[in-house]
């Protein structure tokens, strides 16, 4: 009971909880400027999963049903080598994904969040086979996508919460 009192009295706020009015969100398909197939689809699915955690923000299928729109673009994906072992063999690779995105209130046209350029990185070990390398690269990309989606989700909740204060 004391802990509950302390947490509520000190202004603690759970960033994963939005308690404002219900909002309908349309997540546009992100434009993919890379040659990485289905990257835009993976980002879209990850964003939908994160927003489904909120009981107050509903992802809708059509823009005309929404109050908010989230749109983005995958600018680039790079795989520069990170470290080398004996004989100058690559042992670790870094995945770099560059994105930009915007959250907008459709009715007012007000931009609620805009990130012009953001670079996400994740390292992965080079495997013994091409198949292992591909799997490791996919795992690194999946980590980036989930982290990116979580950040966008939390920033959205924070922005919407501040609007309702």
pLDDT digits (tens, 9 = 90+) for 60-95: 999 999 999 999 999 999 987 665 556 666 678 889
Model pLDDT, residue 18: 65
DSSP string, 4-49: HHHHHHTT---TT---SS-EEEEEPPPEE-SS-TTHHHHHHHHHHH
User: Domain limits of the chain?
Assistant: 19-163
- How far is Cα 96 from Cα 103, in angstroms, rounded to an integer? 23
Please tell me the CATH code under which domain 19-163 is placed: 3.30.160.150
**E-only strand ranges, 55-143:** 57-60, 68-78, 81-84, 90-105, 111-125
Checking phi first, is residue 9 left (phi over 0); if not, alpha (psi -120 to 50) or beta?
A: alpha
Per-residue pLDDT tens digits for 45-62: 999 999 998 888 999 999
Lowest mean pLDDT among 72-81, 113-122, 127-136, 139-148: 127-136
φ, ψ at 127 (rounded to 5°): -90, 180
- How far is Cα 34 from Cα 43, in angstroms, rounded to an integer? 13
């Amino acid at each position: 009971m004391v802990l509950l009192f302390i947490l509520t009295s000190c202004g603690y706020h759970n960033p994963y909880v939005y308690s404002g009015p219900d909002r309908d969100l349309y997540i546009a398909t992100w434009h993919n400027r890379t040659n990485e197939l289905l990257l835009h689809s993976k980002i879209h699915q990850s964003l939908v999963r994160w927003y489904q955690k909120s009981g107050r923000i509903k992802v809708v299928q059509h823009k005309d049903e929404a109050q908010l729109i989230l749109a983005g673009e995958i600018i680039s994906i790079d795989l520069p080598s990170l470290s080398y072992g004996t004989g100058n063999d690559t042992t670790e690779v870094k995945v770099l994904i560059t994105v930009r995105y915007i959250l907008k209130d459709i009715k007012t046209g007000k931009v609620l969040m805009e990130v012009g350029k953001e670079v996400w990185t994740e390292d992965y070990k080079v495997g013994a086979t091409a198949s292992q390398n591909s799997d490791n690269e996919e795992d690194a990309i999946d980590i980036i996508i989930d982290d990116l989606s979580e950040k966008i989700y939390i920033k959205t909740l924070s922005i919407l919460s501040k609007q309702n204060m």
